[in-house]
Structure 1
């Protein structure tokens, strides 16, 4: 899951859908709301938006994310900036999340790069420790299924 850099998490998952369908799950607000969090996403560089989810007290996550579209390559890559929107910074997160899609056979290999973990901060002490505090095993963040398998469930067949 991670390399030698404790500030970055790398995941990849095969999805049994063509890249165009996976891209829709990453960029259409009504589909994003089904697998991640509802928000006013718009595929436009510089667009700032808010997503609302479930607070995770064990990690200090407020449940509200302020995000910004940093860059994208249509159908191929989407990079977002994420911050906890709680007053005082919530868990103090300042992340960059990048999804990259690659065609693979009849499906898509979805890569996630999640950057910005602070190894010196107990609430963001690295990609596995911070999510272990939320109740998941240290070897597998509990949200991994949400960020890789759930987009697939959003787009049946």
Structure 2
């Protein structure tokens, strides 16, 4: 039996917007394209969609879990999973993000982990927070 050495990127991001706005930002295709990439995302378990990743093309995804305004989980390519958990905090939202499934036994996966961690933390999640904070009711 072989065991795989898998790792995850985990980020805790405060968003100056209520969970309802953060949820819309995560699940509305037009808003999703503003903070990350275009895709036909929908908050429905079993929904298969694609995210248009620069340099990669269309990446296949499938929604695995949905708890409206609390949790969204979907696959991202054949081996990774993205988990978004939202918790109300004051007038805002604490967003807990996890990108899991990196296989550290593969150099390409280690390299992706090392590139993506700073990308999520320093660019993508702050863009999501800014987009949600700018939404009007």
TM range, normalised to the smaller chain?
Answer: 0.7 to 0.9
1:110-134: CA deviation from partner (whole Å, max 9, x where unpaired): 00011100101111117643x17xx
Please state if 1:108 is matched with 2:93: yes
Helix, strand or coil at the partner of 2:119: coil
Contact 1:36 1:147 in 2 (8 A): yes
Q: Distance in 1 between matches of 2:103 and 2:12?
A: 22
| Number of residues of Structure 1 aligned to a counterpart in Structure 2 | 130
Helix, strand or coil at the partner of 1:116: strand
Give unpaired runs (5+ residues) of structure 2. Answer: none
1:6 shift after superposition: 5.2
1:95 shift after superposition: 0.5
TM-score in terms of structure 2 length: 0.85
* Larger deviation, residues 6-15 vs 141-150: 141-150
Helix, strand or coil at the partner of 1:43: coil
Root-mean-square deviation over aligned CA pairs: 2.0
Q: 2:80 is matched with which residue: 89, 95, 117? A: 95
**For residue 22 of structure 2, what is the aligned residue in structure 1?**
22
Helix, strand or coil at the partner of 2:22: helix
1:29 shift after superposition: 0.7
Contact 1:8 1:127 in 2 (8 A): no
Q: Distance in 1 between matches of 2:67 and 2:111?
A: 28
Contact 2:29 2:41 in 1 (8 A): yes
TM-score in terms of structure 1 length: 0.75
Q: Distance in 1 between matches of 2:94 and 2:24?
A: 15
Give unpaired runs (5+ residues) of structure 1. Answer: 56-61, 84-92, 133-139
1:14-68: CA deviation from partner (whole Å, max 9, x where unpaired): 111111110110011110111111111122110101111211xxxxxx2431111
Q: 1:74 is matched with which residue: 56, 60, 68? A: 68
